Amino acid sequence: MTIAGEHTENQILTSARDVFIAKGYEGARMQEIADRAGINKALLHYYFRSKENLFDAVFSEVASHLFPAMKQLLESDLGLKEKITFFVKIYLKALNENPYIPAFVINTLNTNPDGFLKYIKKAGVNPLLLQKQIEDEAGRGLIRAVKAEHLLVNIIAMCIFPFVARPIVQNIFEMNDEEYRFYLESRETEIIDFVLKSIRL
């Protein structure tokens, strides 16, 4: 593909991501995506053929920032506390570098949950590995027994909420943009400390 072709494709993906965030999968229209990308609909179809193909490409780009590292981490030989620490670091880094991810994921969960589940399975992320490790370490008296579904949801919620609810949090605590940036940076230590204390015996 030529440089011009790559530019057009990236322009389409960025435009499609914005429309999917705003309208969801069902509400998104190929014509609107083409208009936002500054191309005609025929050229959009030349690159991606269908809305499903376009959504696949957008989701794959989003997933590439999250799932591979998480899969590798879950399958590693690290202890649970180390995994939690790295999980939070990886997740927050991805959100900081790609602030559109929370809105895209939430909208996809609301409008196309089957598609979201398909991509998680395709990525090979297996949370059951975490539950086995929790049971093993709890059995050896290293941590208190918890459920993986609660632990993971708690971690993800604490990471993602400040990005999703930024206008509310920033307004309530009267933070300017620079102060909020420092607040987001401090979340890493706060979350790791909170979660590790929650599984301590």
- Indicate if 29 and 112 belong to the same structural domain: no
Handedness of CA 15, 184, 153, 82 (dihedral sign): positive
- Indicate if 120 and 186 belong to the same structural domain: yes
CA distance 65 to 51: 22
Residue with the bigger pLDDT between 69 and 137: it is: 137
- Indicate if 85 and 118 belong to the same structural domain: yes
- Indicate if 160 and 95 belong to the same structural domain: yes
Contacts of 59 (CB under 8 A, 6+ apart): 108, 115, 116, 119
Share of the chain above pLDDT 70, in %: 98
- Indicate if 118 and 42 belong to the same structural domain: no
State the total domains in the chain. 2
What confidence tens digit (pLDDT) does each residue in 7-46 have?
Answer: 899 999 999 999 988 888 888 999 999 999 999 999 999 9
Q: Domain span at residue 133?
A: 64-198
pTM as predicted: 0.81
- Indicate if 20 and 91 belong to the same structural domain: no
What confidence tens digit (pLDDT) does each residue in 49-62 have?
Answer: 999 899 889 888 88
